[in-house]
Amino acid sequence: MKKIAIIGGGISGLYFANLLEKYQKYEYKIFEKKSHFELDDGYGIQLSVNSIKLLNAIGFKNIEVNQIYFPKKVNFYDAKSCKKISDIDISKFNYENNHYTTLKRSTLLNFLLKNIPTNNIIHNCELDNIIYEDKISLSFSNNHTEQFDYLLVSDGIFSKSKSVIFQEKTSPKFFNSVALRGSVKNIESSDISLYLGSNFHFVIYPINQNKEFNFISIIRKNLKKEQIIDKNYFENNKFLQSLINEISSKTSLNLKDKIENTKSFPIFISDKFKKPEKRNIFFSGDALYAFPPSFAQGASQSIEASKEVYEEIENNTNNYYQKRYEKIKSVNSRSILNHFVFHLSNPLTVFTRNIFLKYLTRNKSFMENYLGKIYKS
């Protein structure tokens, strides 16, 4: 039986491991740099039907319904006035038992981990060296060395493994933006609410049936290099409060007393698509390509990619990276466009944007092309 190494125990790596568990055709090990999985983190994620279909095939459809939420619409609001601009009926893309879903990231991780034997997971280790012989020989920071037939790298946007494999430092690009994340209380909403402001936007949505709501804001910030790499800078309560105050001053929605459990972090994106020379090495998730966070496809695309990797190995084909490249181009262009449109500041361009939003969100052909092409793949 051939062996597969998975570096990184995030959504992409764990979903891939579930496929290996389901079909029982390969031996595998997961190598995770952290000492444990963060299974109580409360922040939310969105999963469109392209990934829900794949998750349902490994049992996600049986998850307790109170742990997840099925929003029907994305409602667009002007952040300053809080007047509704338009909406998208995302439930139109649902089919069979596949529904657009919001949930806590930890809920998904718990689901993915329950099927994986603990002795298949090695914590506290990072890839130090790779040697290509008949097989792939991997050496890790905990002095563990082992040979494998295939390697899946899914250790995130700051992938150390990527640098080891390409033998050069591979760094993502700062997106001149920071994220403020948290939970929101005392909100009455049954759908995804997207507020568009001048050089910022924020999203509020339910993440289960227990009236828990996720809050995420993307704010344009030009920071110095030393600030970007300083973790303490983003964890400082003074900085967190300054972000809350900045957003609150630009919206009539009362947020100051409603946002809790806040965290902030700089946003990085990939600046180029790079594939390895060896056919038996695969990248997925943010280790492959990280998008601007304005299209809610990060988690879904990482699940899709892992499914494609499994099919590539199983069918012994050689089209994974070409297929991924085409999909990444489509998602990335939409993410960049959304970010630009969401953050417009000139009153005339905002007025024009709002007119176009009202028209385009009602245009069935446009929505099929813009969302349907991504959701139905």
pLDDT, tens only, 318-364:
999 999 999 999 999 999 999 999 999 999 999 999 999 999 999 99
Q: Does residue 204 belong to any structural domain of this protein?
A: no
**pLDDT at residue 140 in the model:** 96
**Cβ–Cβ under 8 Å, residues 260 and 240:** no
Query: What's the burial of 65, exposed, middle or buried (CB within 10 Å: 0-12/13-18/19+)?
Result: exposed
Reference 251, options 195, 178, 187, 194; nearest CA is 195
**In a domain? residue 206:** no
% residues pLDDT > 90 (the chain) = 91
pLDDT reading at 377 higher than 80: no
> What are the distances in angstroms from CA 115 to CA 15, 110, 119, 262?
10, 9, 12, 31
Residue-wise pLDDT tens digits, 159-204: 999 999 999 888 899 999 999 999 998 788 899 999 999 999 999 9
Q: DSSP state, 371?
A: I
Residue 50 lies in a domain: yes
CATH number of the domain at 75, please.
3.50.50.60
**Is residue 118's pLDDT more than 80?**
yes
- Domain of residue 41 covers 3-171+270-375
Cβ contacts of 310 within 8 Å, gap of 6 or more: 16, 19, 20
The answer to whether residues 174 and 290 touch, using CB atoms and an 8 Å cutoff, is no
Residue 199 domain-assigned (yes or no): no
Counting other chains too, the contacts that 347-356 makes at CB distance below 8 Å and 24 or more residues apart are: 350/78, 350/196, 353/196, 354/78, 354/85, 354/86
What's the average model confidence in pLDDT over 58-76? 97
At 255-265, the pLDDT tens digits run 888 899 999 99
Q: Is residue 257 part of a domain?
A: no
**Does residue 233 fall inside a structural domain?**
no
Inside any domain, residue 330:
yes
Number of domain units in the chain: 1
Q: What is the mean pLDDT of the chain?
A: 95
Q: pLDDT digits over 211-237, tens only?
A: 999 999 999 999 999 999 898 999 999
Residue 326: the pLDDT is: 97
* pLDDT at residue 376 greater than cutoff 90: no
Q: pLDDT by residue (tens digit) across 46-56?
A: 999 999 999 99
Vertex 285, ends 33 and 320: CA angle to 5°? 125
Residue 225 domain-assigned (yes or no): no
32-47 burial, b for 16+ CB within 10 Å, e for fewer? bbeeebeeeebbbbbb
User: Which ranges constitute the DSSP H helices of the chain?
Assistant: 11-23, 49-56, 105-113, 160-166, 225-228, 231-235, 237-249, 298-315, 320-342, 347-360, 364-367, 373-375
